[in-house]
Structures are given as C-alpha cells and as structure tokens.
Chains A and B, each alone.
Chain A
C-alpha cells in the first residue's frame, strides 16, 4: 500500500513538474551550444512562431482532457484566416473581419460537436470529415490563390506592445482565459469529469452531450481566433498554410502532460509543451540542421510523450 501511494505521488509529480524540468534542461543545453540562442530577439522569435499553434492547443487541451479530439483544427484555422482576409479586403472593417473569423471557427466546432453527440460519430471520424469539407470550402472561396489587401490588420500581426509581439500577447491571454475556465468554472470541472469517467459524469447529472457541444464550440472559437492571427501574421489569406496545424497542437498538448486517455491535463502544460517543441525547432535551425530533420524530431517527440503518458498513468489504472 505504501509503495503504491509513493508511485502515485511520483506520477503526479512528473505530470506537474516533469515538463518544466525538461524545458529547463533543454533551455540550458541550447544556451550552452549556441550563443545566438539566448538573444532576446531569438527568444521572442520562438514565442512568436508558436503563437498560432498554441492558441489552437488551448482548445485542443479542453477537447483531449474531455476525451475527444479535433483533427479539423488546422484546416478550419485556414478557412477562418481566408474568410477573415476576404471580409477585411472587401469591407476594410477590422472588427468585422475578426468576428467573421471567430464565427467560422465556432460554426465548424458546433457542427463537429453536433455530429459527435447527435449521431454518435467518433470525434476522430467527424473531425476528419470536417477537415475535407473545410479544405474544399477554402479552395472554392479563394480559387487557390492568396487573398491580399489586409493592410489594416498590420498591427495585429506585425506590431508589438513594448518588445512583446501582439500575437504572443493574444496567445498568453488565451492561455490565461482557458486556464481559468478549466480551473475555476463548472465547465472546467465538467471537462475533467467527462474525460475521467464519462459514465460517472452522466450518472452525476451532467448533461454530457450539451457540454461536449459547448466544449467543441469554444474550441472552435479559439481555432477561428488562431486563423485571424495567422492571417495577420502573413498579411494575407493563404489557402495552403495551416494544414496539419492540429498535429502540432496535439503534440504540444501531449508533450505538456495532458493524457491521451482523458481526464488529466492543463493548458499551461500545453504552453510549456509548445515552447519545448518551438525551442527544439529553433536550436536545430541555429545549428543549420535542415528542416526535414525537425519533422522527424516532432514525430519522435510525440511518440515518446505518449509512451511516458501511458507509463505514468497506466500504473494508476492498474491499481
């Protein structure tokens, strides 16, 4: 009994602090290897480069913790980016463009949630279908070409407040907001309950279907926001950029300590996970290692993260 309790504590300890330890080790190692790494501009670049994916990862954390997943996040992000760009280019109205982007994300999210709760489709399948629909829609809307004429949103994508780029500020705000929701609201409690044990959650009176739709819609809003930020980063709506972002987001979430099996995980963990991935990409760049190797590293990272996830949770389950 004593041993089991001790093991449980170690697992919890790892989940809470393990990734921060990994981040620290990587940070120190990178600083030693390459003197350009520690430059303020470089560190800011890393944060800037992970901002779009991290915003998506905030939503993805809620989904994975509640036992679902969204494979359409990348393509919906692209669709939001392009429609937002289109609206801005034709009306010149920045708030309208931002709202349109977020609404598109929310709509896609709601449809995903509906398919999963009403028709009992697996999240995997429903969102996979959504990816293709979104891809088709964005190709038709943009005719395969980038949409330009979005000069008005320049500050959002290229500007900074002090030395911190605006996309980074938006990313941090998203992390704080979703973190708050997951820790201090009923929805947050529900997310962990549904992910931990769905049957028990239903039994305890939670309207699980309704909550799932809410989670998907909220996550969709974040994907839409990410699309707007992406569009402002690229000063255009690019139909070919954004595909595959859901995998980067999921990697960040899992590396950050969220369990693939549901019930465990935090948004701040996802942020740390995202920084770890971004840091590794950055140091490989500074070492002039071709970016194809970065793809391999990403794949290995997520495999290792899931293995560690299973090892540390598997013990708990076996008790």
Chain B
C-alpha cells in the first residue's frame, strides 16, 4: 500500500516535470526572448482586473497599440488583487523588462510595486490611477485623464445648451473622494461663465443607479421643475433617466453623466440620457504606447511628462461612432 503511495508521489513529480518541461521546450525558443537581451525592448503591463469592462477594453487596446509599434509587451491580469499585482510587477523586473506599467490597483497598496521599480531603476508607467509617493520618483509617468477635465466637459455642454435661467440638480459620489472633488471643481469653474444657471440642490447618491433613481423620484416631488440632472457618473445618470422616464417627465430635462459606459451610450442612442463624458480608452492606450516608444528610442524617462488624455463629449449626434 505504501509503495502505491510512493508511486503516486513519483508520478506526480514526473508529471509536473513533464508538464513544465514540455511548455519549457515550447517556450525555450521564445525563452530567449523572455530573458531580455540587449536589442529586445520589453514592456510589462499588469491589468487591474480583466473582468472590469473598462480595464478589459483598455488592456486590449494597449496590447494592440504597443505591438503596432513593434514593441513586445507582457500582459497579465491581477484579478483585482493588489498583492497579486505587486507580485506580477516583481516578476516583470526579474524578467528584465525595460518598462513596467499597470492600472495601479490601489493608491497605497501599490506602493511596493513603485518601490520595486525604483530600486531597479526602471520607469513605471501608471495608467488611470496614481500611487502615493509617485512625485518622489522621477521615472514615474502617469497616463490617464483628469477628473477635473471631465467636469469641464460637462460644464461646457451645459453652458452651450441650457436655456436661460436654467435650474439643475447635481448628483454626486462620496464627498471625501478625490474624484468627487475634482469633477465638481471642473464643473463649477466652467459654469461660472453663466451666472444665470442655478444649482437647486446637490445629493450624494454614491454614484449608484438605485440611489440615482430613488433620489430623482424624490426630486420630482420636491421641485416643480428643473432643466437638468447632472451626475458624476453614468450609473447614477441611468438611474435618474429611468425614474424620469417612468414618470413621463423625461421631456425637457437633460440627463448628463460621466464614463461613456456601453449602457449610457445605448441610453443616449435611445434618446433617454442626453450626454455623457467618454473616457477614451483607445486614446489612452495610444498615449501609453507612445510613451513606451519614446523610452525605447532612447529618450530619458525622467524627462517624460505625465500625459493627460482629454475626454470626449458624446451626445445623440456622435454616439454611433462609439457604439460597437
């Protein structure tokens, strides 16, 4: 009986050996490219989470754009786990990548990854999110879009399209979030050019659809009329549009969000939501690939500035472009 146990053990070892040995031989021709040589420029990218729509889209675009420039890129998925992401970046460094990059999972949690890159003197490109202490590392490059700019795009649309003496309601996310602060600042600064626009009230709907819906129902009771519901994201805007539609009060009310999610685009096409501010994943990916190219072509990473990709205003007029 024990010999059977030992046999199982040996078989296990041999099968693991065989399995890894097989993929090893398969990889050994590309194995030399895994161990980065002088001419092979290699980039590592750790995605935040492949199951999160926006990140999944972004990752495909980044891979496309980078390979289109003839640069090799390793793409991994951290499945939402900060520890896993930090480990993946450690592994990139061990594989001699020239640049490490990621949609950093957490402002503080990703610090070990930043530290590892700094210790190895490798440039770190962080997409869409930043990391505490990033300002202290000169080879840290941020590529993304500014929340403030999203607020500005909303403001510009409202300034251009709202009737005189318009009254608007503002739905937001949690007020202690930096995202809230920046998006609101962008909106308010832009709206100041039209002193006739009045903000009736501001509600924290946690950027959620259900709260967006129920708060809109309450607003319809509390206020005789309003011209627009401006939201800090698409989910709450969709909730607001739903509520207005059910009550038959969609006419004459502009519903505005931020994100450019697929559902929001569908809603705009159907004439329910009025406008959203699209975060352009493809442009962000292009910008990222361009940074990789600049480093490959010999530019000093510490001299490369952060890249802020502008948002796009999406309304009924241009929604077809973005719906795929």
Binding site for B on A (CB under 8 A): 7, 10-11, 14, 18, 21-22, 25-26, 29-30, 32-36, 39, 41-42, 45, 48-49, 146, 148, 150, 157-158, 233-236, 238, 240-241, 282-283, 285-292, 304, 307-308, 311-312, 314-315, 318
Q: Once the chains bind, are A148 and B13 in contact (CB under 8 Å)?
A: no
A18 cross-chain contacts in B, Cβ below 8 A: 9
B8 cross-chain contacts in A, Cβ below 8 A: 304, 307-308, 311
Q: Once the chains bind, are B20 and A241 in contact (CB under 8 Å)?
A: no
A7 cross-chain contacts in B, Cβ below 8 A: 1-3
B74 cross-chain contacts in A, Cβ below 8 A: 288
9 additional A-B pairs beyond A10-B2, A10-B6, A288-B34, beta carbons within 8 Å, are A10-B5, A30-B20, A33-B28, A35-B31, A49-B87, A148-B108, A238-B106, A308-B5, A311-B4
Q: Once the chains bind, are B112 and A233 in contact (CB under 8 Å)?
A: yes
Q: Report how far A238 CA is from B83 CA in the complex, Å.
A: 11
Q: Report how far A284 CA is from B291 CA in the complex, Å.
A: 29
Binding site for A on B (CB under 8 A): 1-6, 8-9, 12-13, 16-17, 20-21, 23-24, 27-28, 31, 34-35, 74, 76-84, 86-88, 90-91, 93-96, 106-109, 111-112, 115, 132
How far, in Å, is A147 (CB) from chain B's closest CB? 9
Q: Report how far A146 CA is from B104 CA in the complex, Å.
A: 14
Q: Which residue of B lies closest to A149 (CB)?
A: B108
Q: Once the chains bind, are A235 and B112 in contact (CB under 8 Å)?
A: yes
A29-B17, A291-B76, A311-B4 are contacts. A285–B108 as well, Cβ < 8 Å? no
Complex A-B: 26 CB contacts under 8 Å? A10-B6, A11-B2, A14-B9, A22-B13, A26-B16, A33-B28, A34-B24, A36-B94, A36-B95, A39-B94, A42-B91, A42-B94, A45-B87, A146-B109, A158-B112, A233-B112, A236-B106, A241-B109, A285-B87, A286-B34, A288-B74, A291-B76, A291-B77, A304-B8, A311-B2, A318-B1
Q: Once the chains bind, are A291 and B79 in contact (CB under 8 Å)?
A: yes
Q: Which residue of A lies closest to B25 (CB)?
A: A33
Listed from nearest, the 8 A-B pairs whose CB atoms lie closest are A236-B108, A33-B24, A311-B5, A235-B111, A234-B109, A7-B2, A148-B108, A42-B94
A35 cross-chain contacts in B, Cβ below 8 A: 31, 35
Q: Once the chains bind, are A286 and B91 in contact (CB under 8 Å)?
A: yes
B115 cross-chain contacts in A, Cβ below 8 A: 158
Q: Which residue of A lies closest to B18 (CB)?
A: A29
Kindly identify which residue among B76, B93, B111 contacts A41, using a CB–CB cutoff of 8 Å: B93
Q: Once the chains bind, are B2 and A315 in contact (CB under 8 Å)?
A: yes
Q: Report how far A22 CA is from B94 CA in the complex, Å.
A: 24
Q: Report how far A42 CA is from B89 CA in the complex, Å.
A: 11
A146 cross-chain contacts in B, Cβ below 8 A: 106-109
How far, in Å, is B112 (CB) from chain A's closest CB? 6
Q: Once the chains bind, are A41 and B94 in contact (CB under 8 Å)?
A: yes
Kindly identify which residue among B35, B83, B111 contacts A241, using a CB–CB cutoff of 8 Å: B83
Q: Which residue of B lies closest to A312 (CB)?
A: B5
A34-B31, A49-B87, A311-B4 are contacts. A286–B108 as well, Cβ < 8 Å? no
How far, in Å, is B151 (CB) from chain A's closest CB? 22
Kindly identify which residue among B2, B27, B35, B88 contacts A285, using a CB–CB cutoff of 8 Å: B88
How far, in Å, is B20 (CB) from chain A's closest CB? 6
Q: Report how far A211 CA is from B152 CA in the complex, Å.
A: 65
How far, in Å, is A200 (CB) from chain B's closest CB? 25
Kindly identify which residue among A33, A42, A304, A314 contacts B12, using a CB–CB cutoff of 8 Å: A304
Q: Report how far A246 CA is from B66 CA in the complex, Å.
A: 39
Q: Which residue of B lies closest to A284 (CB)?
A: B20
B34 cross-chain contacts in A, Cβ below 8 A: 34, 36, 286, 288
